Every structure is written in C-alpha cells, then in structure tokens.
A and B are shown apart, each in its own frame.
Chain A
C-alpha cells in the first residue's frame, strides 16, 4: 500500500505542476483545450490524493507498524476511532490531510462556480495547484513522507498521546484545518481576478460562500479547541493565549474584517484594495499558523517537534506574500474607489472602524506572539509576553468592537440624520444603561465587568430591536401572525438576520468571558473524610469532601481515581471523580507504560457556573489526595455562544434566499425592501 501511496503523491506533484505552469502562463486564453486540461488537472490531483489518503488509512487500520507513521501514532490497543483520527495526529499525516482536503476544495470550486466566472477558473486552478504542489513537495522532499518505512517491524506501536484521546481532538483539528485550507479558495479567486484584470464585484460574488465556509470552520475549530483545552489540559481555563491558539485566531480576525468590509464594496464600490489586501493577508496568516505549529520557532504546549519543515513554510510564506502584493501593486490604479465616504455618521464609517479594530487586534496578537523572536533580533534579549499582555491590550479593543456590533446595524448607509439616530438608539442605549444599573443594584463592583455587561446589554437591545421591528413591519404588511412573519423575515433576508444571530453568538461569548473575572480557586490536600469550603461568586457556599482513592485497570490504561462529595449550602449535589491515567502498551506479555501520566478533570456544569475539580496527586501510598477546586462562572455560555454563532453562520449561507441574478442591492443583503425599517433606504 505504501508503494501505491508514494506513487499517488508523485502523480499529484506532477499533475499539480502541470496545472500551475499552464494556468499561470495564460496560454489557455486562446486555447480552450489548454484551459480544459488546467481545470481537469485539479480533479486528477484530487483523485491521486484520495488514493494516497486511502493508502495511509489502510496502513493505520491494518496496524502495519513497519510504516514509521503508523508505529509512531497508534498501537494495537488503541480504540478504532482514534486509529482513524491518527491520520491527522502527527505532522506527516496532517500534511497529507491538508493537501487532500485542499484538492477537494479546489475541485469543488471548479465544479460549483457559476459559468459566469469561467474566465477566472484556470487562474484559480493555477493558484490552488501551486499550494497543493507545495504541500506534496514538503512531504516528498523534507523527510515528512507519511509512507516512510522502518528497517524492521516493531511488534506494537507507541500509541496516541493520551491528551489527544478525546472526542474534541478527533474533530477539532480537522475543523480548524478545514477553515485554514478553505481560505485558499477566496485567495485563489482574488489572485485570479487580479491576473485577469476582472476587478468588478464578480469575483466577490464567486467567493461569498467560500469566505463564509472558511469563517464558519475556523469558528467551530477555535471553539472546539477551547473546549478541548478546558476538559483535557486541566489548567482551569479555555483560552491561554498560547501561540498556537493565537495562530488560529489571527485568520479568523482578518476574515471577520473581510466579511464586513466586503459589504461596503458590494454596496458602495469602496475599499477594493483593502479587501484584496485582507484576503491575501488572511491566506498568509493561515500559512503562518501552520508554520508556527510546525516549526517549533515559538515554544508552545501544542506544537509538534522542531523540524526543517518550518523553513519550507517560511520560504513559501515569503514567496506568496511577495508575489501577491507585487501583483496588487501593479493593479493599484484599476482599484480606485467609486465613491468617497460621505459622513462619519454612516454605516460605512462604523464598518471602517470595525475593520481597523479587528486588524488592530490581529496585529497586537501577532506582535505579542512574535515578540520573543523580534526582541531577540533587535535587542539580542529574548523577551516574552503572556496572557497579561494579551488581556491588557485586547480587553479594551474587544469591548470597543462589541460596542460597534451594536452601533453598526443602527446607523443608516451614507449619512444618518439626527432623527434616524434618535429613533434607532433610544431603546438599545436604555437597555445598556438598565443592565448596568441592575448589576450595580445587585452588588457588582468590578468596573471592567460592569462596562462589558452594559455594552452587552446595549448590543442585545440592538439585536432585539432589529428582529422586533422587522417582524412587526412584515406582520403588518402581509397580515401574517408574528411567528410566521418572524420565520419569513429571516428566511427572506438570510444574510442580514443570520448576521444578527452571529452577533448574538459573539455577544454571548463576551458575557461568558466576563464571567471568568469572577473565578474562584483553592488548592488543598485532604485525607478521606476531610473537607473544605469554597464560596461561589453568587453567594453560595460549596463544600467538598474527599471520599477516597481507588485504583483499577481500564482498556489501555491504569487509573487512579479520587472521589469527592459535593454539597451546595448543605444540600448534596452528588459525587465527582477526577482521574490520573497512566497509559500502557503491551510488549510481549508485559505492560509497558507509555507517555506521561495524564489527568481527567471532573466538571459539573450548569447555566451559572462550572465546578472544576483536578486531582493533582496522591501522597505516596496513602489515600491522602491533592486537589485543585475551581469555580468557573458562565462557562456553559461559551459553548452555547458557539452554537448560536454557528447557527447564524448556517442561516447566512443557506442556499436559496435571494434568487441568483437578483439586483446588486439584494445581493449585498441590505436593500431588500422592508417597509417600516425605512432607514435602510
């Protein structure tokens, strides 16, 4: 099978090179047959990489430990779903996964794009093929070949790192990869539009769904990553500003900026250069993210080991950046704006500020992530910045951005009148003010949290008002009952109301993040029967009683479990168990420990707060146990915010809605006639 896989990789490499060279040459412009071979080479590469993927999966499932990758990431006692997921557990496999998925997306882009954009497609193919060739090239030429064999066949593999043996880890990396990878398609269209000098809004329409798809996958990937970190890493939080986490956030930020600024281009013909810059930047950040994860240049808990692959990525990053920005520069004059900004009190201005802040946040995150390297280059001393830096910079910027989420939808396009402002802002601003007053009355004195929640109240007011007015107007106009009017309102204006649902998701995230300001924590060493108390921020008192430690053998691990009885204000809530696990593999008849011990935290989640118990160790031979007890307020809402966000994203991109070929205003998703929301006109 490895021979077949190897052969498929070479076939993909050569086919990809053919597509890229002919595609970029432009010779196909006068030769329809050449254009056809370019676009068909994309499908051929997909076929080749599908064969390679099947070959790797076969090796994994057959436990062929002669293949180095199979030996390194699986073992005979590893549950089958994890054997399947081991495909992307290591560097080599994830490179193949990346190349194969990109080939799939590239093929779909050729297949699904409307014939109207046919003149762009061979260029699009050239770009996607180049990226595929790069990934296949890394596998074949930098010693990262997933089909590499060992000189002998070990009896068993080393097994999968226990921290990766988690459902989150089975879905989280592919989701994130799907996000990273799909960014290549909008990037390819942007480059194609520049090369073909077709710089009208055509290419934007061609990539609308793609940008939403990659944004959605990135969002899901990031949220699942938070969940995995929370339940598996056991340090008590879900976001630690680790370089790898930052790397996933960066393209998400610039892509979010793009999703907003693109509306200004569709609607008003402004920001053409900025939008192209954002797409190119987003693509480069997605490659940069891979570079950081792979190269080990920046120490991270998530990173793969140091290897020469980093230099390949760095080189690719530089070449892509230089080529794309040079191309943008040569088309500069063709990208002048159609109109100028008319007023500061306009939705355009709100969007521009939103873009600046998003890019500002991205810049600060990038700066903080790279600071150890930059400071060493400039000053000779390595200086690192950690969570305090990122929180300090990003909390104010984030709150400003959240406020804009509430302001943007309320301001009219072009120029808002005084009457418009009063009509739109009265209710939401009151909602924000009331939220603040209610919280102060309830005794909250954390000013950062108060500001955050007041802004959240304002945004919630905005979103509610938008849905309420739209529903009421539609109900009156068509004589429909409220629920019907509401359903149809959303169904007919998916991009707009889906977008508001996304805003609601973001709002919920912010409220949940604010909850972490009220975290309570206490470490203790307890003998059986002994207990400690911890006060929750809501005024309850939790009592944790250590019951005892038990040891047993499970599937592929030895387990040491510590059990705690939990009471809230004297009322029993049940028992919680946190485990220490020592995984093993079987060599001959002997069980040999593999990997370091890992910890399973105990989590009890409700709408208000999470109890998070970590069993950190047992005192030699006794039943005396070390614990860390944490109360994390509002964590459940992070996951719920993620669900709302994804639901909103799906509404936005659900097919149908505005018919194809509808006037430009309708495609921009705003001018859809809504009597009663007349400020839209």
Chain B
C-alpha cells in the first residue's frame, strides 16, 4: 500500500509535468492560423494582431508572383476568394510554389499595419491540382 501511494505521487508528478509542458508549449509557441478574410476583419477589431507571428492559409492569386532574382525576394498575393493580401518573402521558395492556378500556400510571418504580410516561411501544397486535373480528364 505504502509503495502504491508513493507510486501515485510519482505518477501525479509525471502527469503534471506532461500537462505543464503541453500548456506552456502551446502558450509560448502556438500561432494563429487564419484565412485572409479572418486576418483582415480580426486585425481591424483587435490591433494586437498586427506584427504578431501568425500563419495564413490561402491560395496564390494566379500570375501574381514577382521574383527579384538577385536578392531572392518574392512578392505575391494570396486570396481566399473574398480578400486578397499582398505578401513579401525573402528566401528560398519550395519547388511546388509556382504561378499555376490554385496553388495552396501556408505563409508564416507578420501582418503589418500597412496591409503587407512579411512572410518568414512559405509552404506550398500541390495535392489538389492533381485531383482537379483528374476531373478535367474525365470531362474531356
């Protein structure tokens, strides 16, 4: 019985530590994941969202990519159908990031009061394009 009780104390400590690590981890590393519409409406209502690290998931507006090859800077626009946000990014973009239609991207960075999103990371997803192509082929 004695050992059992001691074990329960140890177990409570471990469970508590796991709980604390998770809670603190979420508090300190969690970032908002928003759509452009949400970002625009929320940041107007709550100005603390400006210049806060967050993620935005949207589609690249076809034909909007402008590359500045020498400085490795990329400017483009993202949209969820209702709102468009200009994005600027300095760094290497993934292979899947192209101007083709409906490329889904997740950009991570800060949204400035000037309405420009300064991305520190750009992730591109390409999956949906292939299925869309499948639909087209079926129709053809």
Residues on A facing B (Cβ under 8 Å): 68, 71-72, 150-152, 154, 158, 296, 299, 301, 303-306, 340-344, 346, 349, 352-353, 356-357, 360-361, 363-364, 367-368, 371-372, 375, 381-386, 388-390, 392-393, 396-397, 523, 525, 580, 596-599, 616-617, 619-620, 626, 628
A477 to chain B, nearest CB (A): 34
B80 to chain A, nearest CB (A): 13
B119 to chain A, nearest CB (A): 15
From A306, A341, A372, A393, B22 is in contact (CB under 8 Å) with A393
B14 touches A356 (CB 8 A): yes
B33 touches A384 (CB 8 A): yes
A346 to B6, CA, bound (A): 12
**0 or 1 for each of B1-41: is its CB under 8 Å from A? (1 = yes):** 10110110011001101100110111011111110000000
B47 within 8 A of A: no
A158 touches B130 (CB 8 A): yes
- Residue of A with least CB distance to B100: A596
A360 touches B14 (CB 8 A): yes
B55 within 8 A of A: yes
From B72, B91, B127, A303 is in contact (CB under 8 Å) with B127
B21 touches A340 (CB 8 A): no
B95 touches A363 (CB 8 A): no
Can you add 17 more A-B contacts, CB < 8 Å, to A305-B130, A383-B33?
A152-B140, A158-B130, A299-B106, A299-B125, A301-B125, A346-B3, A353-B10, A364-B21, A368-B26, A382-B33, A382-B34, A384-B30, A384-B33, A389-B25, A392-B28, A596-B126, A599-B95
A602 to B131, CA, bound (A): 32
A381 touches B32 (CB 8 A): yes
Given A150-B137, A353-B10, A384-B31, do A626 and B92 touch, yes or no (CB 8 Å)? yes
A386 touches B29 (CB 8 A): yes
Given A344-B7, A356-B15, A372-B33, do A596 and B95 touch, yes or no (CB 8 Å)? yes
B123 touches A598 (CB 8 A): no
From A353, A367, A368, B14 is in contact (CB under 8 Å) with A353
Residues of A within 8 A of B137 (CB): 71, 150, 154
B21 touches A393 (CB 8 A): yes
Given A364-B22, A385-B25, do A525 and B70 touch, yes or no (CB 8 Å)? yes
Residues of A within 8 A of B57 (CB): 299
A577 to B53, CA, bound (A): 36
Residues of B within 8 A of A382 (CB): 32-34
A217 to B106, CA, bound (A): 33
Residues of A within 8 A of B14 (CB): 353, 356-357, 360
Residues of A within 8 A of B4 (CB): 340-341
Which of B28, B95, B106, B127: most chain A CB closer than 10 A? Answer: B95
B78 to chain A, nearest CB (A): 15
Residues of A within 8 A of B33 (CB): 372, 382-384
Given A385-B26, A616-B92, do A397 and B21 touch, yes or no (CB 8 Å)? yes
A523 to B71, CA, bound (A): 12
The 3 closest A-B pairs by CB, nearest first: A360-B18, A382-B33, A388-B29
A152 to B136, CA, bound (A): 12
B128 within 8 A of A: yes
- Residue of A with least CB distance to B6: A344
- Residue of B with least CB distance to A233: B94
Residues of B within 8 A of A397 (CB): 17-18, 21
Residues of B within 8 A of A371 (CB): 26, 30
A113 to B1, CA, bound (A): 39
A193 to B32, CA, bound (A): 46
B133 within 8 A of A: yes
Residues of A within 8 A of B43 (CB): none
| Contacts A/B (CB < 8 Å), 13 sampled | A71-B137, A151-B138, A158-B130, A346-B3, A352-B11, A368-B25, A381-B32, A382-B32, A390-B25, A393-B25, A596-B96, A596-B98, A616-B92
Residues of B within 8 A of A375 (CB): 30
From B18, B91, B123, B125, A364 is in contact (CB under 8 Å) with B18
Given A150-B138, A619-B69, do A396 and B95 touch, yes or no (CB 8 Å)? no
In chain B, residues 76-134, which have Cβ atoms closer than 8 Å to a Cβ of chain A?
A: 91-92, 95-96, 98, 106, 123, 125-128, 130-131, 133-134
Interface band, chain B: 35 or more
Which of B14, B18, B32, B91: most chain A CB closer than 10 A? Answer: B18
Residues of A within 8 A of B92 (CB): 523, 616-617, 626, 628
B95 touches A344 (CB 8 A): no
Residues of B within 8 A of A304 (CB): 127
From B1, B26, B106, B134, A68 is in contact (CB under 8 Å) with B134
A392 touches B29 (CB 8 A): yes
- Residue of A with least CB distance to B31: A384
A618 to B18, CA, bound (A): 47
B65 to chain A, nearest CB (A): 13
Given A356-B11, A626-B72, do A389 and B30 touch, yes or no (CB 8 Å)? yes
Residues of A within 8 A of B130 (CB): 72, 158, 305
A372 to B92, CA, bound (A): 26
A344 touches B10 (CB 8 A): yes
Residues of A within 8 A of B6 (CB): 344
B15 touches A360 (CB 8 A): yes
B109 to chain A, nearest CB (A): 13
- Residue of A with least CB distance to B96: A596
B10 touches A383 (CB 8 A): no
A301 to B70, CA, bound (A): 28
A391 to chain B, nearest CB (A): 9
B102 to chain A, nearest CB (A): 12
B26 touches A389 (CB 8 A): yes
- Residue of B with least CB distance to A150: B138
Given A360-B14, A596-B126, do A620 and B69 touch, yes or no (CB 8 Å)? yes
A397 to B18, CA, bound (A): 8
Residues of B within 8 A of A384 (CB): 30-33, 55
Residues of B within 8 A of A393 (CB): 18, 21-22, 25
From A305, A383, A628, B26 is in contact (CB under 8 Å) with A383
Residues of A within 8 A of B140 (CB): 152
B7 touches A349 (CB 8 A): yes
- Residue of B with least CB distance to A395: B21
Residues of A within 8 A of B69 (CB): 619-620
B7 touches A392 (CB 8 A): no
B10 to chain A, nearest CB (A): 7
Given A158-B133, A383-B31, do A341 and B138 touch, yes or no (CB 8 Å)? no
Residues of B within 8 A of A301 (CB): 123, 125
Residues of B within 8 A of A580 (CB): 95
A318 to B91, CA, bound (A): 44
- Residue of A with least CB distance to B140: A152
A381 to B31, CA, bound (A): 10
Residues of A within 8 A of B134 (CB): 68, 72
A562 to chain B, nearest CB (A): 14
